[in-house]
Chain A
Amino acid sequence: MPKLYTGAEIVFKCLEDQKVEHIFGYPGGAVLPIYDELKNHTSIKHILVRHEQGAGHAAEGYARSSGKPGVVLVTSGPGATNVVTALTDAYMDSVPLVCISGQVPTHLIGTDAFQECDTTGITRPCTKHNWLVKDINDLSEIMHEAFKVATTGRPGPVLVDIPKDIQFAKTKYKKPKKEKKLNGKSNNKFSQKQIDQLIDLLKNAKKPVIYSGGGVINSGPKASDVLREFVELTGFPITSTLQGLGAYPGDDNQFLGMLGMHGTYEANNAMHDCDLLINIGARFDDRITGKIDEFSPNSKKVHIDIDPSSINKIIKVDLAIVGDVTKVIGKVNKTILKKKNGHSKSNKSNIAKWWEQIQKWRGKDSLNFVNSNDSIKPQHAVQRLYELTKDKDTYVTTEVGQHQMWAAQHYKFNKPNRWMTSGGLGTMGYGLPAAVGVQIAHPEKLVVDIAGEASVLMTMQEMSTAVQYNLPIKIFILNNQYMGMVRQWQELLHEKNYSESYSAALPDFLKMAEAYGCKGIKAENPFELDEKIKEMIDYKGPVIFDCHVDPNENCFPMIPSGKPHNQMILGPNDQDDNKIKGKGKALV
């Protein structure tokens, strides 16, 4: 007779077979049997967070920086509801997470039992799929399927809700099935004909632009390689979404910088004026497109995406190729190389004029800012951080707001999986726990959370986690005492009515660092900045870096709401050039 295992044992057997090494979690009544079993599985290390949201974001940071699914373990009721923000965040940004939640015993479900909530009901809209395990005999299969759903096709979060009695019940363990067909959910159904159509478009384009996104990162490091080859073969300019940064080297000459609401002048104008737009693994998000009716009005549009529902959702395209980026672009590259053997005429000469135009736009230097000797400009701080860390293989996470945009604009990423930020959901408080997860996945690497003081306070408790596991994360706070992005919108859109966007009683971050048992560093003027940043990098342990920056700085360039790409607001320098009256930064 085969050996019988308890539900809790089966959970760990599944995790072992799925090659899970770390789980992020927080114990509670309804998951105690699983926690009880933890000690018997030494290959799996549990990271105790301070709040379940932190577990979710840490697992996201872990997943994004390593390419492996992040695993979260929480209890029923508040444990599950606390993780909802992180699940939604992962759903929006396509991060593979497997969340295991405890549930009250089956006979108590529906009775409003202590710490009961309808977990599968609450998480249904924010997961790819979820399961309530009502029969112990289903547990192994559901666990394996959960990993499969989370990691195949367009990745995303899943949740397995396991009642406490199921954790105690016994049954046989089933190993994962090899290559079980997943209901047609992983899509790779493109044809050579589509590739040939794309090649034709490439050949005839005079003003092409490549717009790549997080799908390239999700497709794995190989995708970045084939993307680089593709850009080299075509000679086309390339821009990237927030999530796609790092797939193509940020300091390369063919890279136009990020596009969208706070993207560069050259990237957005290229998007607007192009005659061929190739979207690779991005989803025409509203921060990217601006006004839909006037989005890239004269271009043929190509969309390469693994998720068929991304296609024609917002922007109608002329050619859609559903498939994995690595496979599709790999095939495109092969076809280009094959065709070139026949007649070596490339269309690089066709697009020489286009490059001239792009150089003109570049001349605007749209990321410029007026530097100061009196106060640290936040952009300057990010630039200095970049210069002082670029030789190390640095991993950067962010919170959400102005600092996030400045990080995206001024920190140049050269490799995929080095940039972890909450784009779709825009979750303040993402960066610190994400940095915890990144550091767990890469213990020897430098991990920096470029943060804002308002965001970081939302999940500051995870500093305690970092200290407990001696994770040397660096929390680089651009402290402007405001919810900067809120303040900026209030300035530009709400007649400077700074309603509730100023934090009047900020903590002393140095004392806070001391209280948590980590190092605190403060920088208040531009002359000490470099030295303090070096001190932060050299310190072997977690650091909270309180960088006092100019509180009135705005994030430019910016596409105002409801405007197309070619109507950007530029920074103060340019506004002076255009002789707009008054102080540049106060203008719309």
Chain B
Amino acid sequence: MPKSKSAYSVPTKKEKSDTYIFVVWVDNEAGVLARVVGLFSGRGYNIESLAVAEVDAVKNISRITIVTTGTPQVIDQIKLQLAKLVPVHKVAEFKREDKNVIFKEMALFKIIGKKKKMEKCLNACKKFDLVILDETKTSKVIQITALRREIDKISKKLKPWGLISASRTGAVAMTRGAKIFN
């Protein structure tokens, strides 16, 4: 290990990182997203995906869903730091492997090509709640909802069959069963 030549200590052993999904309820006001995102960038946390929209127009509440990776200590810090922000009402976090939580992402694909290849595409997407939003003789715009890695996989698969443009959302999450967390 190189000798530290600074007044700071050298980094020590690292723990294993896991993927977590944070759900944050915030006041829907100017700058609130910048506060949340700034906290992540300022403290060196990482954001894999982000989804945000108002969920309660009367109470003026937005719900932010953030996918991130970190060691247990970092995940704990993210939660506590988020909770300290003034416009933040509540923070929940789930491990990606958590069976009690549903995670979904949506993707829009534009596919251009001959009928045969188009068929292949539609077949491959069937199991992901396929919706055809627009079609012409030579093109289709389709919508699927699935997990992140499933969309990763399918978009790779569709490329040679005519996928020319993809637009994706960040993940959103909801617990299973009657239990709620808000």
Contacts and interface: CB of A to CB of B under 8 A. Distances in A.
Interface in B1-60: 3-10, 12-13, 30-31, 34-35, 38, 42
Contact of A185 (B12, B31, B86): B86
A120 B38 CA distance: 12
A286 interface: yes
Contacts of B88: 183
Contact of B7 (A128, A308, A312, A493): A493
A561 B34 contact: no
A562 B81 contact: no
Interface stretch (A24-32, A60-68, A288-296): A288-296
B120 interface: no
Given A124-B31, A293-B12, A293-B13, A309 B86 contact: no
A291 B83 contact: no
B84 interface: yes
Q: B3, B7, B76, B89: which has the most chain A beta carbons within 10 Å?
A: B7
B73 interface: yes
Contacts of B165: none
A313 interface: yes
A494 B6 CA distance: 9
B84 A562 contact: no
B80 interface: yes
A292 B5 contact: no
A313 B10 CA distance: 17
Interface in A316-337: 316
B86 A149 contact: yes
Contacts of A316: 73
Contact of B9 (A128, A291, A312): A291
B77 interface: yes
Interface string A135-149: 000000000000001
Interface in B89-115: 89
Interface in A182-200: 183-185
A307 B85 CA distance: 12
A124 B86 CA distance: 12
A309 B84 contact: yes
Interface size band for A: 20 to 34
Interface in A96-125: 120-121, 124-125
B39 to A, nearest CB: 8
A522 interface: no
A562 B88 CA distance: 37
B38 A291 contact: no
Contact of A128 (B30, B73, B76, B86): B86
B9 A561 contact: yes
Nearest to B31: A120
Contact of A561 (B6, B77, B84): B6
B84 A307 contact: yes
A541 B121 CA distance: 85
A494 B5 contact: yes
Contacts of A312: 73, 76-77
Interface in A457-507: 489, 493-494
Nearest to B41: A125
B121 to A, nearest CB: 44
Nearest to B39: A125
Nearest to A154: B84
B75 to A, nearest CB: 11
A435 interface: no
Contact of A183 (B13, B76, B81, B89): B89
Given A308-B83, A561-B4, A132 B9 contact: no
Contacts of A311: 80
A384 interface: no
Contacts of A134: 30
Contacts of B81: 309
18 contacts: A124-B34, A124-B35, A125-B38, A128-B86, A129-B85, A129-B86, A184-B83, A185-B86, A286-B8, A293-B12, A308-B84, A309-B83, A311-B80, A316-B73, A489-B7, A493-B7, A561-B7, A561-B10
Interface of B: 3-10, 12-13, 30-31, 34-35, 38, 42, 73, 76-77, 80-81, 83-86, 88-89
Q: Which 8 A-B pairs have the closest CB atoms?
A: A309-B80, A129-B86, A562-B4, A562-B9, A561-B4, A293-B12, A125-B42, A308-B80
Given A183-B89, A308-B83, A561-B9, 20 more contacts: A120-B31, A121-B31, A124-B34, A124-B35, A128-B86, A129-B86, A132-B30, A183-B86, A185-B86, A307-B84, A308-B80, A309-B80, A309-B84, A313-B77, A493-B5, A493-B7, A494-B5, A561-B4, A561-B6, A562-B9
